[in-house]
A and B are shown apart, each in its own frame.
Chain A
Amino acid sequence: QVQLQQSGPGLVKPSQTLSLTCAISGDSVSSNIVGWHWIRQSPSRGLEWLGRTYYRSKWYNDYAVSMRGRITIDADTSKNQFSLHLNSVTPEDTAVYYCARNRYFGMAVWGQGTTVTVSS
């Protein structure tokens, strides 16, 4: 059974970088049949897809247009985990952040969610 365990700070100061990690059990981050995603949810914007990383003989990343230039998603194969880095955060980035595993164009496994508040 695949499980995702999120970790990271719940409070980030404006202009700093938000970094969250998603540890994978029951699967490999280097699997060539799945993708690893980050999604966030806020009352004002609902569910918002942020981006993904996936391995198909080499690593690929795709990011939401609205996030490009501020976001990086990377994988650590030695720790079997992947991470989200969002820089220059503002209070608009306050949200619950989820990681998720996608196969067959459906996100069947989700992390527990991390509430991140951007405030000084």
Chain B
Amino acid sequence: QSALTQPPSVSGSPGQSVTISCTGTSSDVGYYNRVSWYRQPPGTAPQLMIYEVANRPSGVPDRFSGSKSGNTASLTISGLQAEDEADYYCASYTTSITYVFGTGTRVNVL
């Protein structure tokens, strides 16, 4: 199972919006609405930000939103803040009854 493809980094100024893409295949991202997104500040465990493509767990700001089109899922961070600077990972359930993570994207707040 190959990792889902994410851009290595995206950058934005405070207040701007950034979007991270997550490209898989018709056997994972494209097959199920079971994509999740995680934020990982340095030295800490990942934190769930989005589940099932577009759902936010309790406590996650509505600045974070998720969507999907075909084999590509996306995470958009609106109103970028300094605290959003971290690594972000997508993950998907697959038709092999496994999970696969993305390659990770560093969000830089300029």
Interface residue count on the B side (C-beta < 8 Å): 27
CB of A49 within 8 A of CB of B101, answer yes
Q: What are the interface flags for B44-69 relative to A under an 8 Å C-beta threshold, 1 for contact and 0 otherwise? A: 01111011100101000000000000
Residues of chain B with a CB closer than 8 A to A39's CB: 101
Partner of A62, one of B3, B46, B50, B97: B97
CB of B101 within 8 A of CB of A48, answer yes
Nearest-CB residue, chain A, relative to B36: A106
CB of A49 within 8 A of CB of B48, answer no
Q: What are the interface flags for B80-110 relative to A under an 8 Å C-beta threshold, 1 for contact and 0 otherwise? A: 0000000001010100111111111000000
Q: A-B pairs with the 8 shortest C-beta distances? A: A106-B51, A110-B45, A47-B101, A105-B34, A49-B99, A106-B36, A108-B48, A106-B48
Task: Give 27 CB contacts A-B under 8 Å.
Answer: A46-B89, A46-B101, A47-B89, A47-B101, A47-B104, A48-B101, A49-B99, A49-B100, A52-B99, A62-B98, A63-B98, A64-B98, A65-B96, A104-B51, A104-B52, A104-B55, A105-B93, A106-B52, A107-B48, A107-B91, A108-B48, A108-B51, A108-B57, A110-B45, A110-B47, A112-B45, A113-B45
